[in-house]
Chains A and B, each alone.
Chain A
Amino acid sequence: EAGVAQSPRYKIIEKRQSVAFWCNPISGHATLYWYQQILGQGPKLLIQFQNNGVVDDSQLPKDRFSAERLKGVDSTLKIQPAKLEDSAVYLCASSASRDHTYNEQFFGPGTRLTVL
């Protein structure tokens, strides 16, 4: 079974530029998550999709961040314009959501963003 795929793996941009990340979840997984992980911290949930609908985006800075999962499969996360404090690893995860008790999430390798 293929894991969660993310691209690019690394991205360096200057502040005020735009950037987009792509995630392809495990086949058949209905739930997709985007996390932001700042160095030395645990991941912070940015947005959660159930199929193509948003379940939770309470911690997404909506003035600059946007995400979509139009067909309920792969997803893109965009930052426009980027700030220095956006430097972090952006992790995508997916889960089958068949068992809420365990809700096993499988993570991709992440995209490391550096904003100069």
Chain B
Amino acid sequence: KNQVEQSPQSLIILEGKNCTLQCNYTVSPFSNLRWYKQDTGRGPVSLTIMTFSENTKSNGRYTATLDADTKQSSLHITASQLSDSASYICVVSSMDSSYKLIFGSGTRLLVRP
């Protein structure tokens, strides 16, 4: 069964600190993996998209890694800001006829001053 699991469910960190969010998936056949940021009351916004051959991709203070062998990904946030408070959703695309997206439940991050 295609699944995406994220950990931790929630995280609280102090402003300026770094953090890492984890994602494990069992999606096959794999097309790509993406991380979305979802602010409260808004739709998800794409941060990074990685295909099978990409190990790491950065978007400002966000760096995503992908290990296609172990089917794991991480999202590292450097020097956190209050505006980073949001849910971060790991999404894996399956290479089926409709390239369906399989969503994780998200990690809810709260950055405190």
Q: Footprint of B on A, CB under 8 Å?
A: 4, 40-45, 48, 55-56, 91, 93, 100-105, 107-110, 112
From 20 to 66 in chain B, residues with beta carbon under 8 angstroms from any chain A beta carbon are 31-32, 41-46, 49, 51
A91 to B45, alpha carbons, bound, how many Å? 12
Knowing A101-B32, A102-B49, A104-B49, the reply to whether A45 touches B100 (Cβ < 8 A) is: yes
Q: Is the CB of A101 within 8 A of B51?
A: yes
Knowing A101-B32, A101-B51, A102-B32, the reply to whether A108 touches B103 (Cβ < 8 A) is: no
Which residues of the partner chain A approach B41 to less than 8 Å between Cβ atoms? 109-110, 112
Knowing A42-B89, A42-B106, A93-B43, the reply to whether A105 touches B101 (Cβ < 8 A) is: yes
Q: Is the CB of B98 within 8 A of A55?
A: yes
Specify the main secondary structure of chain B where it touches its partner.
strand
Other-chain residue from B31, B43, B51, B101 in contact with A108 (beta carbon distance below 8 A): B43
Instruction: Tell me the total A-B contact number using a CB cutoff of 8 A.
Output: 52
Count B interface residues, CB 8 Å.
Answer: 22
Q: Is the CB of B98 within 8 A of A48?
A: yes
Closest to B46 in A: A104
Other-chain residue from B46, B98, B105 in contact with A42 (beta carbon distance below 8 A): B105
Task: Name the distance in Å between A33's Cβ and chain B's nearest Cβ.
Answer: 8
Task: Name the distance in Å between A4's Cβ and chain B's nearest Cβ.
Answer: 7
A45 to B103, alpha carbons, bound, how many Å? 9
Q: Is the CB of A41 within 8 A of B98?
A: no
A100 to B95, alpha carbons, bound, how many Å? 9
Task: Name the distance in Å between B50's Cβ and chain A's nearest Cβ.
Answer: 10
Q: Is the CB of B31 within 8 A of A101?
A: yes
Q: Is the CB of B98 within 8 A of A56?
A: yes
A-B contact pairs, 17 of them (CB 8 A): A41-B106, A45-B101, A48-B98, A55-B98, A91-B44, A93-B43, A100-B99, A102-B32, A103-B101, A104-B46, A105-B101, A107-B43, A108-B43, A109-B41, A109-B42, A109-B43, A110-B43
